[in-house]
């Protein structure tokens, strides 16, 4: 997942120098919620916060303004399924998380024992002492939302977020850049038993390591302020035995790159369709597409070289014939 962001940085650097892939890892992983939906076929849903650390050995850094990363895994039958997505955490949510930790008196939001409801602290209710029992009850009900509705509102707010004016993460040159905890939010959605049982099987067979395919898009800026829209597909290794959990990028394939900031959602949907298309066309080897492109590029280059050599030989031969004619 984080490989998308790292590859975005690498693409920025590629405009100036020959880059090396920065090392990256997930930090401060925090499971906010997880649920098993029995009525929906025992599907699993989860929400995770994570930070990121990038060790950049290149001479150029870059700024990341917005990102959308789709996460995939194959089910028990070998079909590739989109199991969730990752976004940068909205600033207001991060501020709320900080306030929770600081426990500011009269300004915090608490989970109270009202079933699955999320309620405002009593200090937020103005003139509470003057309320009669019925009015107080009505206000309390109006100010309490079910956890499910709260999650829906969170996701709706994320989807309506306008284009950012400031980067959510900046990577410095020649050094290690660490984000704030919870800078990224991962949503795992409707993961069926055929998928999570296959994940468990792969974790056991591979001693805690699984390959995780992701595709993503990002709005980035180069050090000179040039805005770029990037769409890539990346293969990562997720090591659940490592503490903290480690994510290491293996390879990436560029699908889209353009100057300017195009629509992030449309770009993400386009790249996602390409992933599913490549997975079907190349029998699960998504990166075979990149290999074929590289082979075609090399073949084309070799063909051009061969044509140039033949043309040069013909020209030399013609020159020799002309020279022989003059000598004669």
Q: How far is CA 43 from CA 13, 194, 195, 305, in A?
A: 41, 9, 9, 56
pLDDT in tens, the chain (328 residues): 555 555 555 555 454 444 555 666 777 788 899 999 999 999 999 999 988 888 777 777 788 899 999 999 999 999 999 999 999 998 777 767 666 666 644 554 444 444 333 444 444 434 444 444 444 444 444 444 444 544 554 554 444 445 677 888 888 888 888 888 889 999 999 999 999 999 999 999 999 999 999 998 989 887 778 898 888 898 888 888 887 777 777 777 888 888 888 889 999 999 999 999 999 888 888 877 655 444 454 444 455 555 555 655 554 444 443 333 333 3
Give the pLDDT confidence score for residue 228 in this predicted structure. 87
- CB atoms closer than 10 angstroms to residue 287: 17
Q: How far is CA 112 from CA 118, 145, 326, in A?
A: 7, 11, 103
- With 0-12 / 13-18 / 19 or more C-beta atoms within 10 angstroms meaning exposed / middle / buried, residue 255 is buried
Q: Are 212 and 236 in contact (CB under 8 A)?
A: yes
Q: Are 31 and 48 in contact (CB under 8 A)?
A: yes
Give the pLDDT confidence score for residue 36 in this predicted structure. 95
Tokens 């991962």 found at: 186
Question: In 3-state terms, the chain is what percent helix, strand and coil (to 5)?
Answer: 40, 35, 25
Query: How far apart, in whole angstroms, are the C-alpha atoms of residue 23 and residue 177?
Result: 11
- Strands of 145-146's sheet in order across: 109-110, 117-120, 145-146
- As separate numbers, helices (DSSP H) first and strands (DSSP E) second, the chain gives 7, 13
Give the pLDDT confidence score for residue 29 in this predicted structure. 81
| Helix (H) or strand (E) segment spanning residue 15 | none
Closest to 216 (Cα-Cα) out of 260, 239, 249: 249
Q: Name, in order, each residue with C-beta under 8 angstroms of 46's C-beta and a sequence gap of 6 or more.
A: 31, 33, 34, 35, 84, 186, 187, 188
């Amino acid at each position: 997942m984080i490989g998308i962001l790292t590859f975005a940085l690498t693409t920025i650097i590629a405009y100036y120098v020959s880059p090396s892939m920065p090392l990256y890892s997930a930090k401060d992983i925090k499971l906010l919620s997880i649920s098993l939906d029995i009525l929906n076929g025992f599907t699993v849903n989860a929400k995770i916060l994570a930070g990121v650390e990038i060790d950049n050995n290149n001479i150029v850094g870059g700024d990341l303004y917005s990102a959308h990363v789709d996460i995939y895994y194959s089910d028990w039958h070998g079909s590739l399924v989109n199991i969730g997505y990752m976004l940068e955490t909205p600033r207001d949510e991060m501020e709320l998380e900080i306030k929770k930790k600081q426990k500011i008196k009269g300004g915090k939001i608490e989970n109270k024992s009202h079933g699955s409801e999320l309620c405002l602290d009593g200090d937020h209710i103005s003139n509470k002492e003057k309320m009669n029992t019925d009015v107080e009850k009505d206000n309390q009900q109006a100010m309490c939302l079910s956890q499910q509705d709260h999650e829906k509102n969170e996701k709706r707010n994320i989807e309506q977020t306008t284009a950012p004016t400031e980067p959510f993460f900046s990577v410095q040159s020649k050094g290690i850049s660490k984000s704030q905890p919870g800078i990224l939010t991962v949503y795992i959605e409707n993961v069926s038993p055929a998928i999570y049982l296959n994940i468990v099987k792969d974790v056991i067979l591979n001693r805690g390591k699984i390959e995780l395919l992701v595709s993503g898009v990002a709005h980035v800026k180069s050090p000179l302020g040039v805005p770029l829209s990037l769409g890539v597909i990346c293969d990562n290794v997720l090591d659940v035995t490592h503490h903290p959990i480690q994510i290491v990028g293996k390879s990436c394939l560029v699908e889209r790159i353009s100057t300017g900031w195009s629509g992030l959602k449309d770009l993400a949907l386009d790249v996602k369709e390409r992933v599913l298309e490549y997975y079907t066309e190349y029998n699960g080897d998504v990166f075979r597409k990149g290999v074929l492109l590289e082979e075609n590029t090399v073949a084309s280059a070799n063909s051009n070289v061969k044509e140039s050599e033949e043309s040069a030989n013909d020209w030399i031969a013609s020159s020799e014939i002309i020279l022989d004619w003059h000598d004669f």
